[in-house]
Structure 1
Amino acid sequence: MTRLTLHPRAAPRNKIRVWLCIDGAPEQSSAVPLQWKINEEVVEPEILRPLSTSHNSGTVLLTGVFEISVDEDSGPFNRVSLTTFGETVELRVKQAPREIPKDTWFRVLLCSCFHQAENRQALVSQTFLNIPAPERQDLSLFMGDQVYLDLPTLNNYPDNEAELADRFERYYRTNWTSYLGLDTILKTAPSVFCPDDHEYWNNFPHRSPIIQNSWKQASRERWKSAADQLYDAFQCAAPAERGDNIEIDIDPVSILVLDQRTHRQEDRSATLTPEGLQRLNDWVDRLIAEKKFGAVVTGQSLLDKPVGEFKGAVADWMLPNYRDYESIVKALERLSDAGRPVLLLTGDVHWGRVTEVRQAGRTKFIEIICSPSSLVTTIGNDQLKSIGAGFRRFFKGEETRWPRHSSAPDPEPYFAQRVFGKRYQTKVVYKHQGNQLSMLALRRAANTLEAKVTYYEVHKRPKEPRPVSLGLL
């Protein structure tokens, strides 16, 4: 049976972009007949990524990205339908507004670190559906580790590109097209994606002691090739290419999504290509000239400190360990010096936190961390934490709501101290423990923007959502 899936993608004004997945297409079909409609009118969309197999040796799972033009007065919602192989799928697409509104909030859903095997009872989907419809997002930002291609840890992965791609395709299929995955969120609002290491393997592109396929250069190349193909098929923001910076403008805000994994260098010389770094500076120049607010999405925190050689090799290298870190934070400093705080949006660390970065009493940056949506299993460490929680419950009567989750630590007292010295002080605004989603909300207020972020607990007995005011930017 052929199964169709449509998801909206972030698009320019008066455009609708949709990602299409056809699962179970007849193998004998040389061409796929696609009949598109928008608001019941037949249309011929522009092909941004041609419909093709999800990897080089694939057969029955096809993906592609298409763009449809819409009239200015078509309204905030449009109905898109597709018919092929006797099956029809429909999608209600919410268009992004031209500008941040005054009388309501523009909402951005933040999500990262989704380990599907731990998403018991589909709690991520259920948590999202419990958000009242009027309070749901206009845009979704997925900030890394949407899949964990390197898990389970003790699995014996084949050292063969085609077999790896087949396995990765199964992970993506579940995460993108099922209620047990991210499908419920993905089909409700346009999305954009930022990769992190588990789109490849832990601490990619470096060797990992727990990933045998990463120990040899040829094995790493085969794994990367397979992972690249699946990323292109499911996450890449066509017509942009994997590794490109992605810019999303909702006046007076511009969101820049930085892909610091695709072209990250093993010698730690760079996380961005020279072209990517130049485009970051061009974006900063444009925002200063146009007097816009900036938000930057990264897979790892820019507030991290560098780690030592042993920890970097065994666990993870942090962004300050790479030689282009200084150029990146200096570019963002130029933007904050133009008079508006810069929002730093990220995941990765398996706890949530809101941090202000201040200089002489003035807010220069606000970092929002939302992680994880579904905590990854860590063999050994999880068992020890669960045993400890059991002892505390038995002997002290203490209930531990999140026995496997770490509490958010305080950030380093100074932002990028090796670059800026003690110029920028950090101040914690809020910490959130446990599986989570969060919603960044913006609206116009006088000549500036009002901002808040709300954290939603992904739990079978969730506490009330926690709104955190960010004040006027």
Structure 2
Amino acid sequence: MRNNYSVEGLEAGWNLAFFDPTTTSFKVWLGVLKTNRKKKDNLLIEILDTEGKLIQSISSGTIQWRRPFQGHERGFYSLLTINDLTPNTRYQVRVTEAFTQPDSNAPITDPGSGEPMVDTLIDGQCKTLPVSLPNNAETPFCVLLGSCLSQKYDGHSASNAVHALCDKESEKYHPDISVLAGDQVYLDLGIRGISTIPEEISEYVGEKYAEAWMSLEGFLRNSACVNLADDHEFWNNYPDFSTNEAVYLYPLRDKQVRSAFTAAALDGVRNVQQVKPVRIIKLGNDLSFCFADMRSDRTIKPRKLMNEDHFSEVLNWAEHLTTPGVLAIPQALFVEKGNGFDYNLPNFKDDYSRLLAALAKTGNDILILTGDVHYGRVAKSKLGNANIYEVIASPLSNIPGFSGTLATATPPTEIPRFPQISVPGLPGKSKVTTIAEIEEVSDPLDFRYPDTRTREHFATLGFSKTEGAGIQVDINYWAVRKFYKSGSPKKLESCTIYLK
């Protein structure tokens, strides 16, 4: 099943994304983020099966449109639930517009066939969840992982790579869900000249999202997405501002500007990205996923990673696991404390300690999915009686120029022992072993990127169950800007782990 919608067509401003898949449903996000577009009166949303047979349709007359940003009256979207679907089935979603007479709104028909003439505005595809994890003789349950996309110089490369993966590679690499683990948009880059008028601040955020969502359309239209927010969905090291002396953030020192900016940023996170504090997906009795937004409701005084009720949901999930668990979060576990410029999870000592204690409680293996650090790595350590693995995929596109010199990173030559702090009830620190990591890139003639950096990439993880060996996870890293002659993105690294 292929998407035929061109990049040129995206210039029309329409965005399509999929969220909240279940075994029998998913949600369709349809809208326009560009502020100079208007609603269409003759839309038809069609749901088709793998054979191209029409399953359901929704006309524009039944769609309730909403504003994505409350601070300005431009842009619109709707979130539609598609029910009564078959488990583990990929559906195509096609949005068409009927051609009509400008004076009467009457449909224009094809002179030859007499059929109404329509134009496809945008299309995509989404798969329902399986009722259980497939065995390793079947197509695995595939999760795509990526983070950190700077639009400047991306040139649509990240989305093109995902489209190519889905078109050229085996179905086993086609994502069932995609996890965008944070920094899908860099709201704070370019903020120096921002207006002090709340409505115009909101418009600025809306424009940044319009650019980002065009760059990410390949992820959004090829599977259901679970998005997490990280600091650049707001500003560097959000929510802390007391120790942030970055010159480019000077406008946010004004409390009223910062308040309006935060409100608009939260609109983007909640309404456009559909970030939720906690999402849990269970694949039968085989595997359990938890997706936790540990950024949007973070506080500094007191130091809390999340709202306590939501954090308790995460802890409860971990403490009652009866299967291996997969935890997706916006920052890595296998890191040291950060500084005032950029806090890491160990800076939030109490919550970090509680999280690790909960993850260790049942002895089931844990896999962490994350981004943020601008390098790619698979690593392993021990947590109590369990193995804990961490897969990092970052970045999709490096930040260029002077800002990039601050953000550019490569995997550390020595990983600190884990955990970084003492956790009551757990043994001492364990060694962290690197299983795979992404190569570095350095080109002194490429003045866009003055420092050595990690090659842009994303990862796919194929989950399947085995006889006796636990859950097999085939991990593959894919280049964003390098392709084989076949047109498929180049495979950078591969490894296999087993969760018990």
Q: TM-score, normalised by structure 1?
A: 0.82
Equivalent in the alignment of 1:292: 323
Alignment-mate amino acid for residue 253 of structure 2: W
User: Tell me, what secondary structure is at the counterpart of 2:208?
Assistant: helix
Change (3 A) 1:423 1:93: same
User: Tell me, what secondary structure is at the counterpart of 2:66?
Assistant: strand
Equivalent in the alignment of 2:430: 424
Query: Are residues 1:435 and 2:435 paired?
Result: no
For structure 2, the 5+ residue unaligned runs are: 1-10, 49-53, 100-118, 439-453, 484-488
Higher mean displacement: 19-28 or 421-430:
19-28
Query: Are residues 1:353 and 2:374 paired?
Result: no
Q: Give the superposition deviation at 1:3.
A: 4.5
Higher mean displacement: 275-284 or 406-415:
406-415
Query: Are residues 1:415 and 2:419 paired?
Result: yes
1:137 to 153, 162, 175: 175
Q: Give the superposition deviation at 1:376.
A: 1.7
- The number of residues matched between the two structures is 428
Change (3 A) 1:368 1:41: closer
Q: 1:353 and 1:423 mapped to 2: Cα distance?
A: 20
Q: Give the superposition deviation at 1:172.
A: 1.1
Maintained 8 Å contact 2:282/2:289: yes
1:4 to 3, 14, 30: 14
Q: Deviations over 1:408-458 (max 9, x none)?
A: 443212224332462533222122132111111111101421112111122
Equivalent in the alignment of 1:396: none
Alignment-mate amino acid for residue 422 of structure 2: R
Query: Are residues 1:262 and 2:296 paired?
Result: yes
Change (3 A) 1:463 1:94: closer
Query: Are residues 1:373 and 2:408 paired?
Result: no
Q: 2:319 and 2:327 mapped to 1: Cα distance?
A: 14
Query: Are residues 1:334 and 2:361 paired?
Result: yes
- Between Structure 1 and Structure 2, the one with more helix by share is 1
Q: Give the superposition deviation at 1:231.
A: 1.8
User: Tell me, what secondary structure is at the counterpart of 1:276?
Assistant: helix
Higher mean displacement: 137-146 or 414-423:
414-423
Maintained 8 Å contact 2:150/2:185: yes
Maintained 8 Å contact 1:44/1:68: no
Q: Deviations over 1:233-273 (max 9, x none)?
A: 21015xxxx4x211122232121111111111122520111
Change (3 A) 1:209 1:430: same
Q: Give the superposition deviation at 1:183.
A: 0.3
Alignment-mate amino acid for residue 146 of structure 2: C
- State the Cα RMSD in Å: 3.0
Query: Are residues 1:70 and 2:84 paired?
Result: yes
Q: Deviations over 1:94-117 (max 9, x none)?
A: 222222111222110000001111
For structure 1, the 5+ residue unaligned runs are: 386-403
Equivalent in the alignment of 2:347: 321
Q: What aligned pairs does 1:458-473 form with structure 2 within 5 A after superposition?
A: 458-460=480-482, 464-473=491-500
Q: 2:269 and 2:180 mapped to 1: Cα distance?
A: 13
Q: What aligned pairs does 1:380-391 form with structure 2 within 5 A after superposition?
A: 382=405
Q: What aligned pairs does 1:71-470 form with structure 2 within 5 A after superposition?
A: 71-72=85-86, 76-83=89-96, 88=120, 89-102=122-135, 103=137, 104-120=139-155, 122-131=156-165, 132-134=169-171, 135-152=173-190, 155-176=192-213, 178=214, 181-207=215-241, 208-210=244-246, 211-237=249-275, 242=276, 244-251=277-284, 252-287=286-321, 291-307=322-338, 311-312=339-340, 315-322=341-348, 323-335=350-362, 337=363, 340-358=364-382, 364-377=387-400, 379=402, 382=405, 405-419=409-423, 420=426, 422-432=428-438, 433-447=454-468, 448-460=470-482, 464-470=491-497
Q: 2:392 and 2:36 mapped to 1: Cα distance?
A: 43
Equivalent in the alignment of 1:397: none
Q: Give the superposition deviation at 1:42.
A: 4.6
Q: What aligned pairs does 1:39-54 form with structure 2 within 5 A after superposition?
A: 39=48, 40-43=54-57, 51-54=65-68
Change (3 A) 1:56 1:442: same
Change (3 A) 1:294 1:198: same
Q: Give the superposition deviation at 1:72.
A: 3.3
Maintained 8 Å contact 2:46/2:93: yes
Alignment-mate amino acid for residue 458 of structure 2: L
Higher mean displacement: 196-205 or 58-67:
58-67
Q: 1:24 and 1:298 mapped to 2: Cα distance?
A: 29
Change (3 A) 1:305 1:3: closer
Q: Give the superposition deviation at 1:137.
A: 1.1
Higher mean displacement: 96-105 or 84-93:
84-93
Q: Give the superposition deviation at 1:215.
A: 2.4
Q: 1:50 and 1:408 mapped to 2: Cα distance?
A: 49
Change (3 A) 1:468 1:2: closer
Alignment-mate amino acid for residue 100 of structure 1: L
User: Tell me, what secondary structure is at the counterpart of 1:465?
Assistant: strand
Maintained 8 Å contact 1:145/1:199: yes
Q: Give the superposition deviation at 1:359.
A: 6.0
Q: 1:159 and 1:227 mapped to 2: Cα distance?
A: 15
Q: Give the superposition deviation at 1:129.
A: 3.2
Q: Give the superposition deviation at 1:357.
A: 1.0
Maintained 8 Å contact 1:109/1:439: yes
Change (3 A) 1:428 1:26: closer
Equivalent in the alignment of 2:46: 37
Q: Deviations over 1:387-409 (max 9, x none)?
A: xxxxxxxxxxxxxxxxx653444
Q: Give the superposition deviation at 1:70.
A: 2.2
Alignment-mate amino acid for residue 22 of structure 1: V
Q: 2:318 and 2:84 mapped to 1: Cα distance?
A: 30
Alignment-mate amino acid for residue 430 of structure 1: A
Q: What is the percentage of aligned positions where both structures have the same residue? A: 22
Q: Give the superposition deviation at 1:28.
A: 8.4
